Amino acid sequence: LLIFILTESALELVPKKIANHPSIRKHAARKKKKPGEILLDRTYHHAAMRRLAGAEKRGRPDIAHITLLQVLGTPLNMSGMLKTYLHTAADYVIEIDSRTNLPRNYERFVGLMEQLHVQHRVPSKGARLLSIKKATLSELLNEVQPSKTLAFSTMGRAKSLQETCEAISGEKNPAVIVGGFPHGHFSADTMALTDEIVSIHPQALDAWVVASRIIYEYERAIGL
Ligand SMILES: C[S@@+](CC[C@H](N)C(=O)[O-])C[C@H]1O[C@@H](n2cnc3c(N)ncnc32)[C@H](O)[C@@H]1O
């Protein structure tokens, strides 16, 4: 079983500090929601985000959307050999059942994530496909107890993906960690939780490119 974690993801509800900004209030009113119940999104909230700390790493839920679609659509996931988690910059962990059929449409994905933050599970009855709880990456790793924890970053040691995935293919439940943010690097806390940090290319690639390649190489390494 491979554990995939998209960490420090730029997906969070609008923080209180900027909830009163006109661009946020206008956007929330259009969606018929409270300002604190909509996702922070740089496309609409650029002006308001100037007042936020660490703004360059925030307000990009599209990264989680595209990456999750790439990951959940793989043969590895369809054969039940992938466990996917989304850890957010605001320290929530979203557990995603492998059978989840995420909306392909971005606005619908945003609506689902907003509903999840308010209701804590989706759907509200029956088999639970998505659930959210307050937890740090460290708490998540403590819970899932991976046999090895590998993170991917341009700051890591240069190594081919083939070699990397072959090395973990014999592990019981290795975890691979990719950053769900547009710019910048993992926090020191994230780095400290890993056994190894690997760079697969001299330049920074989009999270979804890295994620889908990791899974493909892992599939090859285990002969799927
Ligand atoms: C858009 S990047 C973040 C940009 C960041 N400047 C960086 O250098 O990693 C999103 C995520 O993709 C992964 N990533 C991007 N390029 C990578 C590379 N060349 N090697 C390994 N991981 C990479 C990392 O997990 C990173 O957090």
Is residue 152 lining ligand 1, measured as CB closer than 6 Å? yes
| pLDDT, tens only, 138-163 | 999 999 999 999 999 999 999 999 99
| pLDDT, tens only, 5-18 | 999 999 999 999 99
The pick from 9, 11, 57, 152 for probing ligand 1's pocket by mutation, whose C-beta has the most ligand atoms within 8 angstroms, reads 152
> 187 alpha carbon to ligand 1 midpoint, in Å?
13
Rounded average pLDDT over 15-36: 96
For residues 76 and 98, what is the distance between their CA atoms, to the nearest angstrom?
10
Give one DSSP letter per residue of 51-101, joined into a string. TSTTGGG-S-HHHHHHHHHHHHTSHHHHTT-EEEEEEETTSEEEEE-TT--
Query: Could you tell me the pLDDT band of residue 79, with boundaries at 50, 70 and 90?
Result: very high
> What integer pLDDT is reported at residue 121 of this predicted model?
84
> What integer pLDDT is reported at residue 127 of this predicted model?
77
| pLDDT, tens only, 90-139 | 999 999 999 999 999 999 999 999 999 999 988 877 778 999 999 999 99
- The answer on pLDDT for 58 being more than 80 is yes
> What integer pLDDT is reported at residue 11 of this predicted model?
98
> What integer pLDDT is reported at residue 4 of this predicted model?
99
